[in-house]
Structure 1
Amino acid sequence: MDWDTVSFDHDAGITTITVDRPDRLNALNRPTLRALDEAIDEAAERDTRALVVTGAGDDAFVAGADIEQMRDLSVEEAQAYARLGHDVMNRIETFPAPVIAAVNGYAFGGGCELALAADLRIASERAVLGQTEIDLGIIPGWGGTQRLVRLVGDELARRLIFFGERVDAQDADQYGLVGDVVAHDQLDEFVQGMAEDLAEKPAFALQAAKEAINQSHRMDLEDGLQYEQRAWSGLFGTADQREGMTAFVEDRDPEFE
Structure 2
Amino acid sequence: MGTWPPPCARSSVPQSAAAACASPSCRAGVCRRRGAAAAPFLQVQKAGSKGNVGLIRLQRPQALNALCEGLMAELQRVLDAFEADAQVGAIVITGSDKAFAAGADIKEMQGKSFQQCYGGAFLAGWDRVATVRKPTIAAVNGYALGGGCELAMMCDIIYAGETAQFGQPEILLGTIPGAGGTQRLTRAVGKSLAMEMVLTGERISAAEAKAAGLVSKVFPVDKLLDAAISCAEKIASNSKLVVAMAKESVNAAFETTLAEGNRTEKRLFYATFATDDRKEGMTAFVEKRKADFTDS
Please tell me the TM-score bracket, short chain as reference: over 0.9
1:50 and 2:86 aligned: no
Tell me what 2:62 maps to: 23
Aligned 8 A contact 1:173 1:180 in 2: yes
Paired letter, 1:73: K
1:40 and 2:79 aligned: yes
Moved over 6 A (4+): none
Paired letter, 1:49: G
1:9 and 2:45 aligned: yes
Tell me what 2:217 maps to: 180
Distance in 2 between the 1:80 and 1:193 partners? 42
1:216 and 2:256 aligned: no
When normalised by structure 1's length, the TM-score is 0.94
Task: Give the unaligned 5+ runs of structure 2.
Answer: 5-37
Range moving further from structure 2, 233-242 or 105-114? 233-242
Task: Give the unaligned 5+ runs of structure 1.
Answer: none
Paired letter, 1:53: I
Please state how far the C-alpha of 1:80 moved relative to its aligned partner: 5.9
Aligned 8 A contact 1:33 1:84 in 2: no
What count of residue pairs does the alignment treat as equivalent? 254
Which protein is bigger by CA-based radius of gyration?
2
Please state how far the C-alpha of 1:256 moved relative to its aligned partner: 1.6
Range moving further from structure 2, 200-209 or 108-117? 200-209
> Greater helix percent: which structure?
1
Aligned 8 A contact 2:139 2:224 in 1: yes
Secondary structure at the aligned position of 1:101 is classed as: strand
Secondary structure at the aligned position of 1:217 is classed as: helix
Tell me what 2:32 maps to: none
Please state how far the C-alpha of 1:94 moved relative to its aligned partner: 2.1
Secondary structure at the aligned position of 1:252 is classed as: coil
Aligned 8 A contact 2:116 2:122 in 1: no
Distance in 1 between the 2:245 and 2:129 partners? 15
Distance in 2 between the 1:58 and 1:87 partners? 26
% identical aligned pairs: 39
RMSD: 1.5
Paired letter, 2:136: V
Tell me what 1:67 maps to: 106
Tell me what 1:87 maps to: 125
Tell me what 1:103 maps to: 140
When normalised by structure 2's length, the TM-score is 0.82
Paired letter, 2:74: A
1:200 and 2:237 aligned: yes
Match among 133, 145, 165 for residue 182 of structure 2? 145
Paired letter, 1:85: L
Distance in 1 between the 2:236 and 2:134 partners? 9
Aligned 8 A contact 1:3 1:35 in 2: no
